Amino acid sequence: MSDVAHADGHHDVHEGTGIDNRKLGMWVFLSSEFMFFGALISNYMLFKGRDYSAFMPTGQSVLLPRGLYDIPFTSVSSFVLLMSSLTMVLAHDALVSGDQNRTRVWLAATGMLGSVFIGGQVFEFTEFVQQGMTISSNPAASAFFMLTGFHGAHVFFGILMLLSLYGISKRQGGLTEVQGLNVELVGLYWHFVDIIWIVIFTIVYLIP
């Protein structure tokens, strides 16, 4: 029976790349997400510089996103989001060193910072709408709300994942080794969302 090798008999998973299936899956998923945000960003860039005055009722001026930005405010909320990447790393670090309490604290802190960022975005959107720029004002405004809105939705899902990790840890008195990988996966996702925000912040807010 030389040609048929012996198996270990179990549903065996030997990973060709040396990376865990779930982790590789997350990387592959995130590569797809880059295309998603790439399309949203190019959509915004296409519409942001156009002149919409011809489409406005007489006497009304065009309200474009770039005329309404409060750069200092958004800079602060961007800083908050970037700090959450740090706390995410600290959560993972705490888990690796076996400190379940500290893991929970940093997971909660990450979720908290993410929530502050979302709160800032809600405030910003309300402010823009009050000043008269809605999603139906012009295509540039539509593209702005769509791009930043989808980013916000991604942050929101990240917070949901953090909360469920926190809940599981609280309930079981700690995360197991298998669930520990989930912290890493959520971390990957969270860093991705942060990196995308850096790109959005630069392209949408900073570049004139």
Partner 1 sequence: MATTASRSGARTIFRRPDSNTGFWGWITTADHKKIGIMYGYTAFTFFILGGLEALLLRIQLSQPDNVFLSASEYNAMFTMHGTTMIFLFVMPVSAAFFNYLLPLMIGARDVAFPRMNAVSYWIFVFGGIFLYSSFVFGTTGPPEGGNLAEVASRLGSGPNGGWFGYAPNSGLRFSTGTVMDYWSIGLQILGLASLISSINFIVTVFNMRAKGMKLLRMPVFVWMTTVVAFLLLFSLPIIAVALFMITFDRNVGTLFFDPSMGGDPILWQHFFWLFGHPEVYILVLPAMGIVSEVLPTFSRKPLFGYPAVVFAGAAIGFMGFGVWAHHMFASGVTPITQAAFGLSTMAIAIPTGIKIFNWIGTIWGGKIKLNTPMLFSLGFVGMFVIGGLSGVTHSIVPADWQQTDTYYIVAHFHYVLFGGAIFGLFSGLYYWFPKLTGRMYSETLGKLHFWVFFVGFNLTFGPMHWLGLNGMVRRTWVYAEETGLGPWNMVVTIGAFIIALGVLIFMINWTWSKRNGPIAPFDPWDARTLEWTLPSPTPEYNFAVNPVITSLDDFWHKKYSEDADGRPVRRPEATALLAEYEEVGLNPPEPIHLPNPSYYPFLVGVGMPMVGYGLIYDNTAWGIPLLILGAVTIVGSFIGWGVEPLEEPHADHHSDEPDHEHPGTDGEDS
CB 100, CB 169: distance < 8 Å: yes
C-beta closer to partner 1: residue 86 or 139:
139
**Under the criterion CB under 8 A, does residue 11 sit at the interface with partner 1?**
yes
Residue 161, exposed/middle/buried by CB under 10 A (0-12, 13-18, 19+)?
middle
C-beta closer to partner 1: residue 52 or 205:
52
Q: Name residue 43's amino acid.
A: N
85-93, 97-105, 106-114, 131-139 -> range binding partner 1 (CB under 8 A): 131-139
Residue among 45, 89, 129, 135 that touches partner 1 (CB under 8 A): 135
45-53, 64-72, 80-88, 95-103 -> range binding partner 1 (CB under 8 A): 45-53
**Under the criterion CB under 8 A, does residue 97 sit at the interface with partner 1?**
no
CA angle 42, 43, 46 (to 5 degrees): 80
- Please give the Cα distance from 120 to 118 (Å, whole number): 5
Q: How far is the CB of 119 from partner 1 (least distance, A)?
A: 22
CB 44, CB 147: distance < 8 Å: yes
Q: How far is the CB of 10 from partner 1 (least distance, A)?
A: 5
Residue 32, exposed/middle/buried by CB under 10 A (0-12, 13-18, 19+)?
exposed
- Please give the Cα distance from 32 to 26 (Å, whole number): 10
Q: How far is the CB of 121 from partner 1 (least distance, A)?
A: 17
In the chain the beta strands, taken as DSSP E runs, fall at: none
Size of the site for partner 1 (CB under 8 A): 51
Residue among 50, 70, 75, 207 that touches partner 1 (CB under 8 A): 50
Q: Which residue ranges make up the site for partner 1 (CB under 8 A)?
A: 1-17, 19, 21, 24-25, 28-29, 31-33, 35-36, 38-40, 43, 46-47, 50, 52, 54-55, 134-136, 138-139, 142-143, 145-146, 150, 160, 164, 168
